[in-house]
Amino acid sequence: MCRWLAYSGSPILMKDVLYGGTNSLVDQSLHSRLGAEPTNGDGFGVGWYGASATPGVYRSIEPAWNDENLRELAGHISSPLFFTHIRAAIGSAVQQTNCHPFRHENWLFMHNGYINEFDTIKRDLILAVDPSLFPAIKGQADTEVLFYLALTFGLMDDPAVAIEQAVGLVEAIAERHDVPHPFQGTIATTDGKSIWAIRYSSERKSRSLFYTTDVPTLRRLYPERQLFQEVSDDARLIVSEPLGDVAGVWNEVPESCWGVIGPDHQEIRPFRPEAPATTIAVGS
């Protein structure tokens, strides 16, 4: 299990949402309230967009709470769209190549959750990755494989459908191996303009996922909050766990749904995994 945060809006320093407050993401690395594990100390990562289309990524195997470099970067890098992720490893090694967010070209991808009994179905899953993408897999995390499956199924064209197919494939292959509850978690992915977020689990008891109320409303509710005054009207945070307990700020994404926030669209829809028929045959 892990904790994550995604921001989109006018540029802010990453520290404005990573540190401080009563339940900041770095606080959650030491004692999360809603996570499956209270401690998320097995590395972390940040990915941010700036001057170039390709995001920068900083990943470390140290706990976020005592990484001096994270503190420096968060205090000096301002960005209109960034992902941050703190990890509680389950099974795969604590190493940078297993830390989220994962990047492919201009896309980022991160996940709180797991593929159940990953070792059992890993080989079949890897076989379904497009061979031209295969060498780009650099670690051994279940999430990285899921990312490359989604890329194989067209993430760059239609992220929600591609992730529905990737998760659907995980469920189909798991069924063949009698693996119960194959997928659990919340996912975020972005092309640097829009953010797609998914909340889903095969057993329909998904990890929590929240997004912020629109900024104009927040300003009316909390006129004294400096950050709300500074960010743009369209600014949003999507988080695995609320940062603090302020009433009216956080809204839960419903079970088995995906949503998107972007410059011209915001919506929430049902998430319906379905394996691409052809891929299962190839993987056999």
Q: Which residues pair with 199 in a beta bridge?
A: 186, 257
**Which position among 10, 22, 53, 66 is part of the footprint of a copy of itself (CB under 8 A)?**
66
**Which position among 33, 72, 158, 220 is part of the footprint of a copy of itself (CB under 8 A)?**
72
The length of the chain in residues reads 284
| CB 254 to a copy of itself: min, Å | 32
| CB 138 to a copy of itself: min, Å | 6
Which CB atom, from 135 or from 263, has the smaller least distance to a copy of itself? 135
Binding track, positions 164-193, relative to a copy of itself; x by CB under 8 A: ------------------------------
**Which position among 20, 33, 53, 69 is part of the footprint of a copy of itself (CB under 8 A)?**
69
Put residue 281 in one of left, alpha, beta given phi > 0 → left and psi -120 to 50 → alpha. Answer: alpha
Which CB atom, from 21 or from 50, has the smaller least distance to a copy of itself? 50
Indicate whether 38 belongs to the interface with a copy of itself (CB under 8 A). yes
**Which position among 6, 16, 32, 41 is part of the footprint of a copy of itself (CB under 8 A)?**
41
Indicate whether 76 belongs to the interface with a copy of itself (CB under 8 A). yes
Contacts to a copy of itself from residues 78-137, by CB under 8 A: 78, 89, 93-97, 119-120, 122-123, 126-127, 131, 134-135, 137
| CB 37 to a copy of itself: min, Å | 8
Binding track, positions 14-33, relative to a copy of itself; x by CB under 8 A: ----------------xx--
Which CB atom, from 138 or from 225, has the smaller least distance to a copy of itself? 138
SS (H, E, C) the chain: CEEEEEEEEEEEECHHHHCCCCCCHHHHHHHCCCCCCCCCCCCEEEEECCCCCCCEEEEECCCHHHCHHHHHHHHHCEEEEEEEEEECCCCCCCCHHHCCCEEECCEEEEEEEEECCHHHHHHHHHHCCCCCCHHHCCCCCHHHHHHHHHHHCCCCCCHHHHHHHHHHHHHHHHHHCCCCCCEEEEEEEECCCCEEEEEEECCCCCCCCEEECCHHHHHHHCCCCHHHHHCCCCCEEEECCCCCCCCCCEEECCCCEEEEECCCCEEEEECCCCCCHHHHHHHC
**Which position among 21, 24, 34, 75 is part of the footprint of a copy of itself (CB under 8 A)?**
75
Number of residues this chain uses to bind a copy of itself (CB under 8 A): 49
CA 78 – CA 88 distance, rounded (Å): 27
Indicate whether 213 belongs to the interface with a copy of itself (CB under 8 A). no
Give the interface with a copy of itself as residue ranges (CB under 8 A).
13, 30-31, 38-39, 41-42, 48, 50-52, 55-63, 65-66, 68-69, 72-73, 75-78, 89, 93-97, 119-120, 122-123, 126-127, 131, 134-135, 137-140
